[in-house]
Structure 1
Amino acid sequence: MLPGFPLPPNLRLRADLDFMNRVHNLVTGEVPLAIFLSTMIESTGDAAAIGVFETALAKVKALEQAPLVVTPEAIPGAAADDQVQPGGPYLTTANREVSWEAQISEFDETLAIRYLRMGTRAAGSVFKIVIHRHIHGEAEFITDDRPRLSNGTGWVIAPGLGITNHHVVNARSALFGEGDATVDDFRLQAETAKVRFDYFEVNDTADGVVLGPGALLASDAELDFALLQLPNTFGIRLPLRLRQQKIGKRLDQPLGTRVNVLQHPNGSPMRLGFRNNFVVLGDDNVLAYLTDTASGSSGSPVCDDAWSVAALHYGSRGVSDQNLKLMGRLVKQENVGTPIPQILKHLAANHARLHKQIVDGQAGLKP
């Protein structure tokens, strides 16, 4: 069935019945199957069909009113002759208030275990990047043995090709009134940057790999991205899949769509931002979301629940919806990223070879 097209009635009915068979009652106590059968009795004019529905409804109501019955084997420490004869069903005080499983929220919030497996695989394509600042062609040091470094996150966008933020490579702070790095310093900072994959544990002291001469391939300050050539020493690192369509979300729409951010906040081992991770706003120019990040998270992939990259994370700002509340508290800040389609559009117009390399690299990826 094509996305966006409704299921035919027979398949829709089968899907609804499957849902009702899996969810005995909602948190309100209502039983979806009983509601369905009652509606069918009221709406049908066929006497034979009414009889079938009434018989089914009586069985559902009998199950609804019956106490929960378990066997002694189901409860640790229960005696075989507890309350009834050995081997027979029995009811304990602890279970008298227990009902069938309930779907707590309006929508099913569970995810297939494949979500975790795919997330682990995606983590292997994300790296920490460390930039050594240069001033007028010279590496900068805080003291004789302490280089001035800044951290960011990046990820594989095509075989042998990494992406991070322009401002990560720029390594300057507008907060302190610093201007942008010169063209030569920017290039030197890309070439002397160290990249480190699989940084998951604090006690992992392995050093990163220097990118080397010619590392900087393309960059754009407005879209805040920089493309970097990755050394062959990293072996085969599969690129992350890219979303071809933006995540669209208007401010007047309720929160629902979620995103996940694989990141190295503050240069620490990789963390995953995926709680309270709602999209606030999504259009052609920006994706705004509530997923937690920190300094060093810049350049992270912002992924949908299928682990396709929807945006390149670059920072935070005041929240777009001034009345937005989460868990009863007013939200003041949102994180933002550049939608991937915008970056691809820019590359197609200005760096055709790199755009083709990315498109070709995406072609063989499995969903």
Structure 2
Amino acid sequence: MAVTVSEGAERLMQAEAAAERYQRTSAERQDVERQLDAGVKFPDSPEAIAVRAARLLDRQAVPAAAAVESIRDEHLTAPAAYERILGLSKELQAWSFLPRGARAARTVARISARENGRELPIGTGFLVSPRLLMTNHHVLPDAASTQQCLVEFDAQVTVDNTPGASIRLELDPGTFFVANERLDFALVLVRSADGVPPGEVFGWNRLSVQLGKLVIGEPVNVIGHPMGRLKEVAVRDNALQVRMDDFLHYKTDTEPGNSGSPVFNDQWEVVALHHSGVPDKDERGRTLRKDGKVWQPGDGDDAIAWVANEGVRISSILTHLAGLPLDPAGRALLAEMGPDSGLQEAGAPPRTAPLPPADATGTPPAATTGTPPVATTGTPPVAPGPTRESTGTRVGLRAGPTAFGGTRHLVFVHGRSQQGKDVEMLRRDWSAGLNHGLTRAGMAPIDPGDTWFPYYGDTLIGAVERNESVPRPATATRTATAGMAAEACAPAGPARGTYERLIAEAAANAHMPPDGATANEAFGGSLVGALQRQLSWLAAKTDLDEWVIATILRDVAAYLDDQEVREAVLNEVLRSVPTSGELVLVTHSLGTVVGMDLLTRLGPDVNMALLVTAGSPLGLDTVQSRLLVGGPKLPDGQFPWVNVWCPNDAVAIGCPLGDTWQSELTDMAVTNARDRAHDIEEYLLHPEVAARIGTVLGAA
């Protein structure tokens, strides 16, 4: 089948699916329209508006001085102030809007198919890395048809409205090609003509998996090649109407040929991949023409009455890409999409069991590459290690009796927020992270069943909740506004004072001015108290959001200040810790505090061979003074200690530790992937960290 024929058939199929989603969300859309008619500028949730406003301020899309001036003389609630910021962004654009738009436009190319000696335009694509181009699945459905296509950059008019000289490049699906029909996207490598990656010539779009790029009522801008014409920009009479899990509906004048175009917000961040118009339907579900008559296939797409447009959310595409089982070369290409994409870990093998080759119907995973996809793990499958007898609740795991010769033991002590999780999977995740680092260091991997994994997740949350008079918010990190984090996460009772001191000390270590009198903070100060300003400062200076920081420090405070909580946690940990032999203790986050206390409870037959702390708050005076050892010192005896920390990890903001802790201590600063700055797997995959552990274990 010719490329143009298959492209047209699938395009109509995608339009039908878009129409079904449009009908399904009609009640939501009507509610949005009623709010707009009533004068509500951004009929979205308070949470979405708050996240969007924070992103605009953080990226200086709205000057802080303008934000402050707009609310100076009014007493506004936090939601009203956030809406005011979004209004400024919508109504007034900085001069840079135009050159930034021109820069984004250079990344957009026209896609044409070669058929019978002719070149027929079939869609639009845009660069999302130095070498990868994104478009729709219905434009490039498979590697074979992609081989017949080419792309043209700079297919546009000049400032004098005369056609410019375009640059034609070939696609290389044999090296990399991934496509998914449901999300209607394709990702293919563009072959460079002179050895220089196309993205270095035309630029490329930094895709972001983060939320906060667009709210309902905000404008969107589309750049593409409608009907195969030279490049055009749709920037008027447009707005986001409805947001679904994987798709967006918006008003923007587009035509066939815009398939595969990037959908931008006013800051020229890609928010969606345009993939279809939404056709108008009669009461019998038949597609209508612009003149109101029933559309027939011979009428052509340009005769259809389009009522809206649909795009695929970029965050959904990135999430899908992150889960694909690709070979190392394919993962490396995805990693080139930059840190905001969340694909920097693409070079790592999956941390859990391999994906099955097919589902129950025999369908293989929905991805194709130039070479067969490969899914590997750091270690071969092994049977779970022995556990203590279950009592109906999740319990810690013990290593087998012959692990590391039976006299040396590797113990992992996890951090907070592990309640309700599969303990065996947690142990495998930690082991996979370490095995990744060991492999990079040229050392043999370990068997997850050879590790001890004390588990206190359920014990911690149960003990804390028993002692708190006010229930802690559920799923706070996803459902509440940014301005609520500090107060909503504050623990009850004496632990609150410790919680406040932890935040204040961490903010000071992050160089927050004593009075918070910067332009950005002046705005925040009019809305929330000092505690929230300190928390917001920490989030702005690191790669953790406010809720993650607040909940971690809350649980650290609860552990340190409530003796019942501390004893419950330590007793639970001790049940799955060896009572003799040499100990390699690897701890993370709150687990580093628990581990430091644990050193005071180990039996006389246990000798420490190595202590590893990762993402630790042990650099904060507030933590040190409340340890069982009574300060920044180890219990009796000297042993090697490696403290690994990431400058963008807010929990480790007090690091390095060498200036305050008197011990045989080595501080290691590492660079973790953005948005995973605090993850233990990120810390363990660094070869210099894993090598220290492997050497002591005798894994070399």
Secondary structure (helix, strand or coil) at the match of 2:208 reads coil
Counterpart check, 1:341 vs 2:323: no
Pairing partner for 1:264 from 225, 230, 240? 225
Distance 1:113 1:214 in 2: 42
Which residue does 1:110 correspond to in 2?
92
What TM-score does the superposition give when structure 2 sets the normalisation length? 0.31
Counterpart check, 1:120 vs 2:120: no
Distance 2:247 2:211 in 1: 9
- Contact 1:302–1:313 at 8 Å: present in 2 too? yes
Per-residue deviation, 1:207:
6.4
- Contact 1:246–1:310 at 8 Å: present in 2 too? no
Secondary structure (helix, strand or coil) at the match of 2:338 reads helix
- Contact 2:154–2:167 at 8 Å: present in 1 too? no
* Runs of at least 4 residues off by over 4 Å: 2-5, 14-17, 246-250, 351-356
Which residue does 2:118 correspond to in 1?
147
Secondary structure (helix, strand or coil) at the match of 1:188 reads helix
Secondary structure (helix, strand or coil) at the match of 1:241 reads coil
Secondary structure (helix, strand or coil) at the match of 1:116 reads helix
Root mean square deviation of aligned Cα: 3.6
1:52-71 equivalences in 2 (<5 Å): none
Counterpart check, 1:350 vs 2:324: yes
Q: 1:111 to 1:218 in 2, by over 3 A?
A: same
Secondary structure (helix, strand or coil) at the match of 2:323 reads helix
Which residue does 1:54 correspond to in 2?
none
1:208-223 equivalences in 2 (<5 Å): 208-212=168-172, 214=174, 217-223=177-183
Kindly indicate which of the two structures has a greater share of residues assigned to helix.
2
1:113-262 equivalences in 2 (<5 Å): 113-132=95-114, 140-141=115-116, 147=118, 149-170=120-141, 186-201=142-157, 203-204=163-164, 206=166, 208-212=168-172, 214=174, 217-233=177-193, 235=198, 236=200, 237-246=202-211, 256-262=217-223
Per-residue deviation, 1:270:
0.9
Secondary structure (helix, strand or coil) at the match of 1:166 reads coil
Q: Which amino acid aligns with 2:274?
A: H
Counterpart check, 1:18 vs 2:74: no
Distance 1:16 1:119 in 2: 23
Q: 1:257 to 1:351 in 2, by over 3 A?
A: farther
- Contact 1:153–1:300 at 8 Å: present in 2 too? yes
- Contact 1:157–1:358 at 8 Å: present in 2 too? no
Kindly indicate which of the two structures has a greater share of residues assigned to strand.
1
Counterpart check, 1:362 vs 2:338: yes
- Contact 1:129–1:194 at 8 Å: present in 2 too? yes
Per-residue deviation, 1:318:
4.6
Distance 2:245 2:331 in 1: 19
- Contact 1:248–1:282 at 8 Å: present in 2 too? no
Q: Which amino acid aligns with 1:244?
A: V
Per-residue deviation, 1:123:
0.9
Distance 1:271 1:198 in 2: 11
Q: Which has the higher contact order (CA 8 A, sep 6+)?
A: 1
Q: Unpaired runs of 5+ in structure 1?
A: 8-13, 22-32, 37-105, 133-139, 171-185, 321-330
Which residue does 2:263 correspond to in 1?
302
Secondary structure (helix, strand or coil) at the match of 1:361 reads coil
Per-residue deviation, 1:285:
1.4
Q: Percent identity?
A: 31
Distance 1:359 1:192 in 2: 27
Per-residue deviation, 1:149:
2.7
Q: 1:195 to 1:17 in 2, by over 3 A?
A: closer
What TM-score does the superposition give when structure 1 sets the normalisation length? 0.56
Per-residue deviation, 1:264:
0.7
Q: Which amino acid aligns with 1:222?
A: R
The superposition leaves residues 151-202 of structure 1 with CA deviations (integer Å, 9 ceiling, x where unpaired) of 21000111111111110124xxxxxxxxxxxxxxx42321121111111126
Distance 2:325 2:271 in 1: 21
- Contact 1:191–1:213 at 8 Å: present in 2 too? yes
Distance 1:238 1:207 in 2: 14
Q: Which amino acid aligns with 1:286?
A: F
